[in-house]
Structure 1
């Protein structure tokens, strides 16, 4: 029982890990939400060459990149893939009339914790002219007295900045000639306290929008990680729908040799297959789970395993019905093979074909008994008869226009020959009633196995989560230790028990 419990726990653990960590879908019809983000730049070129640079999303905490495309007819494109900042540069010798450039990226939710920038050095305090220098030092001293760490220091600064009536020192920065927004005032004050700080720009992925505004957040480093704050509200942390686009104060788009007419970012929500998104999420996290899974095999091989991996499920059904229920059958795994044949022929047609071939074959088997053949020649003769019967049924069905009869070739002929042989022996030794009972039991198990193996959810699980077969193995081992009464025996001995 310990081995069975270990196998069950291992299978369920791997299943839960793949679902929770990478989002592998439990159901085949599950879809996930992705965002298509498009940046459009319109440029009016001059008489000479034109060069346009645009910031690209690089480090996106909470989101992963699925795919991206650049659309720029006639332009040369160079993407500078720096570790902490990506930039796309389009160039053309003669542009002519106004030109449009596009960047399109597909992003999905991902619980990654990417750092937006490397661990920084402590900055030198800024040197300002008076009276701004004195005001800066006094604000830093006051805030330092009211805070305990970098997070509380930053929050206190933002609370002061958002006060409708700021104190005199802060009013110099808010209402004075520097004309700085709240994000850059906060950046200035934090730098005065020698706190590493930078601005981050991004868009909110909330609703479909043709012109999503670029929002600015600030990030302060506490020595271990970046802490994010909204300078307009003072709230800490990045919103769950915020896509970090770039860091620093560089412009979103710049043009050399032309005039920037317009730049806008559009966002649109789409639904995609959860399975394809889970594979991309696994690749983003550097996991090789997809590379070493059945999904990496060629399509034709995957189709084969979609059937083979259902055989253990059918075998478990046989164990359950024989050891717990007490259903009798011919052979051990013959019903599973018949159930697989039913998957191709459909249940009703397969049932009629199986009964017909076994019935006619049994008639010939009784005739062979009169010839007193040895075992191996007799089995060979029965096999030949079964093959001939299958061929005759296929030809007659084709002539009658019954296409279902053509699928009789999918039945395992050797197994059918063995069923005929076993059924004839039981018929002779224990009577026709027992032979019919074993035959009906075999068909009943095959039908139940067919119905269970035909559940689309199970077929999906064994391919996407083959580790669940460890659960089936554990349950099979557990049932193998069961030595109690079977359900049919309870009915058989109910009078003795009462």
Structure 2
């Protein structure tokens, strides 16, 4: 296989990995930091009313289509009431019912919302249906017709027509005779004026409807929020949002659409004295939990087929397992590029995993104690001339007994870290003792000790990197990161140059040799000889 093929393969793997990571970060909003936080808002609706005798039924409109925001969680508080939620093409509502109620009644609905992604901030998708025109008697019908004709002359399309109508009906100061007369018909209430505008637009076959929304604040404390009306007008292609107070076009970025069903926000059977109040508070929430909850609301399959769907115990296990390739890649760099000698290929990584429970200093101390004692036993067993498998079995038994002894002694001395010695990989420790003793016999004590020190260096460095919380979070949330390491491992697999320690070992060969001075010629030697020598 040519190097070009290998480079193209590595580049393709890295491109796929970064594309998946970018999608998770920019679209799914998975955080890059373990303790990242995002802004969430808690919006609460409080219904207060005096019940009538007998049965009572309360209907409250709920958020359904919320452009720019996502509802993460909903809570209902209605003691002793039955609860029925209904959803249709226009919106959602909850109906509370009770057979008997005494005293003032308080019902609550609370929603936790977060700002949606950019690609999810789609507009309202209602069908452009034309409403019912108003039934006006004279002289209101003539005034409305005259006002609409004047508005038509000052507009160029559907949206400008609606804006001019809103401006004429909502302007302050000196009003025209038509507006004064119609004001007696619809009154000065925002809701009544907005609904009347929708009816007037229906006379000109313009689809429009009233929506209710709350402008969110950045205050952390609970503040009373004002529910306001907004108009949406269809221009033949899409819905345009208008402010009925200023005739401004466009949806404010902080507008949370509560209801667009066209129904009253609150309706109580019998219409007893009632009040509907709203409060808004801003909080900071864990970005990872928020992103996970957002995916569950939008598309649960994105969570079901990921590590986030595993039980918490399994997630903690994979948080550790996914760090093993990180340690293996560090060992690859230290062995192939630096040239550090170790015992075994992945044994330092397993020791690094044990260091996660014992801490670094205590783990190295326990490693030195167990291996040192095991070497003494191994040298004694060598005199018995045992075969390999029985010898390894005997060493393993002694290693386990030594771990148990250290744990018991540490418990008696009140040293809790000694209890973690049992987490060391016993089989790997036994193999390390065997290989270290063989290297001691065949290549001398210096080589065996150097390789043992190299094993501890690799394990310590791997432990430091593998226990770094930001990296652990990044690899668990973005397991595609391991594909980048996979591509780099493929590229390093073809490296056959000098290692760093070899550059130090053979640095004398890299020096320029000293110039060689040629010996003097024979004639020159004769000429320079003394007279006595010539004689």
Q: Which residue of 2 aligns with 1:242?
A: 255
* 1:40-79 equivalences in 2 (<5 Å): 40-79=46-85
Cα distance in 1 for partners of 2:54, 2:380 equals 99
Distance 1:406 1:69, change over 3 A: closer
Deviations 1:162-191 (A, max 9, x none): 655688586457656543655345434533
Report if the CA contact (8 A) 1:48-1:257 is conserved: no
Asked if residue 464 in structure 1 is aligned to residue 477 in structure 2, the reply is yes
Q: Which residue of 1 aligns with 2:349?
A: 336
Deviations 1:77-124 (A, max 9, x none): 322222322222222333222222222222221133455452224568
Cα distance in 2 for partners of 1:83, 1:134 equals 33
Partner residue of 1:18 out of 21, 24, 29: 24
Q: Aligned Cα RMSD in Å?
A: 2.6
Moved more, 422-431 or 109-118: 109-118
Cα distance in 2 for partners of 1:55, 1:369 equals 84
Structure 2 spans left out of the alignment, 5+ residues: 1-6, 512-535
Q: Number of residues paired by the alignment? A: 495
Q: CA deviation at 1:407?
A: 2.1
Distance 1:209 1:154, change over 3 A: farther
SS in 1 for 2:303: coil
Asked if residue 132 in structure 1 is aligned to residue 143 in structure 2, the reply is yes
Q: CA deviation at 1:25?
A: 1.8
Q: CA deviation at 1:438?
A: 0.8
* 1:179-328 equivalences in 2 (<5 Å): 179=187, 183-184=194-195, 186-206=197-217, 207=219, 208-247=221-260, 249-257=262-270, 259-328=272-341
SS in 1 for 2:27: helix
Partner residue of 1:120 out of 107, 111, 128: 128
Moved more, 169-178 or 231-240: 169-178
SS in 2 for 1:8: helix
Report if the CA contact (8 A) 1:330-1:439 is conserved: yes
Q: Which one has a bigger Cα radius of gyration?
A: 2
Cα distance in 2 for partners of 1:475, 1:497 equals 29
Deviations 1:360-381 (A, max 9, x none): 2112222333333333333333
SS in 2 for 1:211: strand
Moved more, 170-179 or 315-324: 170-179
Asked if residue 28 in structure 1 is aligned to residue 41 in structure 2, the reply is no
Moved more, 263-272 or 174-183: 174-183
Distance 1:119 1:428, change over 3 A: same
Report if the CA contact (8 A) 1:43-1:258 is conserved: no
Deviations 1:317-353 (A, max 9, x none): 1011111111111110010011011111111111111
Distance 1:322 1:257, change over 3 A: same
Q: Which residue of 2 aligns with 1:101?
A: 107
Cα distance in 1 for partners of 2:383, 2:323 equals 41
Distance 1:44 1:470, change over 3 A: same
Deviations 1:267-323 (A, max 9, x none): 111222212211121123225221111221122222221211111111011011111
Cα distance in 1 for partners of 2:177, 2:326 equals 75
Moved more, 155-164 or 11-20: 155-164
Q: Which residue of 2 aligns with 1:453?
A: 466
Cα distance in 1 for partners of 2:362, 2:24 equals 40
Cα distance in 1 for partners of 2:258, 2:22 equals 33
Report if the CA contact (8 A) 1:127-1:133 is conserved: no
TM-score (norm 1): 0.91
Structure 1 spans left out of the alignment, 5+ residues: none
Partner residue of 2:423 out of 410, 417, 433: 410
Moved more, 446-455 or 235-244: 235-244
Q: Which residue of 1 aligns with 2:527?
A: none
Cα distance in 2 for partners of 1:227, 1:255 equals 32
Q: CA deviation at 1:59?
A: 1.4
Cα distance in 1 for partners of 2:133, 2:267 equals 30
Cα distance in 2 for partners of 1:127, 1:163 equals 24
